[in-house]
Chains A and B, each alone.
Chain A
Amino acid sequence: MDISLQQVGYSYAKGTPFEKRALFEVNASIESGSYTAVIGHTGSGKSTLLLHLNGLLKPTEGVVRIGNVSITADTKAKELKEIRRNVGIVFQFPEHQLFEETVEKDIMFGPMNFGVPAEEARQRAHELIKLLGLPEDVAQKSPFDLSGGQMRRVAIAGVLAFKPSILILDEPTAGLDPRGRKEIMELFNKLHKEEGLTTILVTHSMEDAAMYADQVLVMHEGRSVIVGTPEEVFADAERLKSFRLGLPRSVAFQRDFEKLIGRPLGRLALTEGQLASSIAAALKEEGER
């Protein structure tokens, strides 16, 4: 499902003395099956933006188009539920949304709301428990008896359970330890590829944006200021700096290394492996000289 935003604007508490503008003329298009990273410092509007992608907020100006449904300021609440069936959001600290008596029931909550029969929902819950690397016996336990990392996985399963074709991830690894972070990010990447999902990752990690995304959208003070491939976006350090953003570590290291050898390395290294092979190649050339 393609997503497009055209001149999207949003104000909180519109029409009152407390009105606060959060988005201005945001334009972006996200192709079906792509992986888009949204980056920007805190308060740049990225969280407000993602709430528009499944109708939790309606734009006060402009149009959000998801598949062939358009959301404008006048869209009715009923139509929004249809959109939500296709768009899953994993919010920051998603374990805060757990509420059922058992893990199984909590995972079934989403699919049942969207009309999936109970048996099928239960089966999905069990598949997801396995997929997310949770122990089998967790299904009948209370989600509140699990460890923090396990609760996070159950909450993620609760979103995946209604099989959204668009998956929005808002800092899905915040607060996890390094191993948990890596496992979760790899899992989303695998799902993205295997299920052909359209993935949108809101993140503070330039490394994650560089490693996983095909497209990067930079938000700053409520505006979409850059849209491009990771190579394009991270090539311009000065511009990113003006939006209070840094470079992924591998790119920053590449720049330092280029200063050392006095010439550019060619392509931008988005991962540590790429960087190591570029450096190795460059050192070999230098040695041959």
Chain B
Amino acid sequence: MLEKMIFGRYVPGNSFVHRLDPRSKLLFIFLFIIAVFLANNTMTYGLLLAFTLLVIFISRIRLYFLFNGLKPILFLIVFTLLMHFLFTKEGAVLLDLKIFKIYEEGVRQGIFISIRFLVLVLMTTVLTLTTSPISITDGMETLLNPLKRVKLPVHELALMMSIALRFIPTLMDETDKILKAQLARGSDLTSGTIKERIRAVVPLLVPLFVSAFKRAEDLAIAMEVRGYRGGEGRTRYRQLNWQGRDTLVIIIFIVLVAALFWLRGGS
């Protein structure tokens, strides 16, 4: 079940989108999320949807793979849509089914909100699918660099994040091993009252914490003997490279916003 879920996963590739600098992608996504709220009529929502599909096309992610992986979220979107159909009672009646009526405004708002939600989910998924977590961390660190002036520990945050990401698979394996060991000792996580089940988690959590602390201690020593003394005076192995295509992304964004303003209904 969880293996099929692709939200937040990275799939290596070599498309135009894959090769973009993480900074331009992050900047774009951040601004795009704001720009989505400019849409207010059929034309503008249509434009956003078409643009998103175009980005997916360019990133060479298979639509089937994307929608299959996002099923749980799509379910949520359909649910929102239905709620609007049922509960918004404005505008002309489109369909009278005796038990309930579907109003024009309900359909309109339902579709718009669903598109907004869908577009946001698709775009952020495209970001995480095409950018490795470590590139995202690097991009964030550089983009947030100006905030060092206001004493935000940007380097430390980025390092913490990259170490956390690096240890997720290790700790998942560890959890699986400990779980198996306790099951073999007759521990039972799947039956009993809620209180019993909570107690049954202790044999899993305690060893996991003990091992995580041990790892943290070892890691701190390993970092220290390899000369780590904080961000001061460090050079970077990962170089970010802003290129023509990244500037192009920003220009595209400006054009998109201009188009949204132009097509937007006056209100």
Contact = CB atoms under 8 A, between A and B. Distances in A.
B99 to A, nearest CB: 40
Nearest to A94: B181
Interface of A: 13, 16-18, 51, 54, 56, 77, 81, 84-85, 87-89, 91, 94, 96-99, 109-110, 113-114, 144, 158-159, 162
A170 to B, nearest CB: 10
Contact of A144 (B180, B182, B210): B210
Contacts of B188: 81, 113
Interface in B160-192: 174, 177-178, 180-188, 190
B207 A84 contact: no
Interface residues of B, number: 21
B264 to A, nearest CB: 41
Contact of A91 (B4, B180, B203): B180
B181 A84 contact: no
Nearest to B179: A56
> B interface, by DSSP: helix, strand, loop or mixed?
helix
B203 to A, nearest CB: 5
A144 B206 CA distance: 11
A16 B4 contact: yes
A13 B207 CA distance: 26
Nearest to A155: B181
Contact of A56 (B184, B203, B211): B184
B3 interface: yes
A77 B187 CA distance: 12
Contact of B181 (A16, A77, A91): A91
Contacts of A110: 185-186
Interface of B: 3-4, 174, 177-178, 180-188, 190, 202-203, 206-207, 210-211
A158 B185 contact: yes
Nearest to B204: A99
A85 B203 CA distance: 18
A238 to B, nearest CB: 36
B185 A96 contact: no
Contacts of B211: 96
Contacts of B181: 89, 91, 94, 96-97
B203 A109 contact: yes
Contact of B190 (A18, A77, A144): A77
Given A16-B3, A18-B3, A77-B190, A99 B206 contact: yes
A90 to B, nearest CB: 9
Given A96-B207, A99-B203, A84 B183 contact: yes
Contacts of B4: 16-17
Contacts of A97: 178, 181-182, 185, 203, 207
Contacts of A13: 3
6 contacts: A13-B3, A16-B3, A16-B4, A77-B190, A81-B186, A99-B203
A94 to B, nearest CB: 7
B206 A84 contact: no
Given A54-B184, A81-B188, 20 more contacts: A16-B4, A56-B183, A56-B184, A88-B184, A89-B181, A89-B184, A91-B180, A91-B181, A96-B174, A96-B181, A96-B207, A96-B211, A97-B181, A97-B185, A97-B203, A97-B207, A98-B207, A99-B202, A113-B188, A114-B186
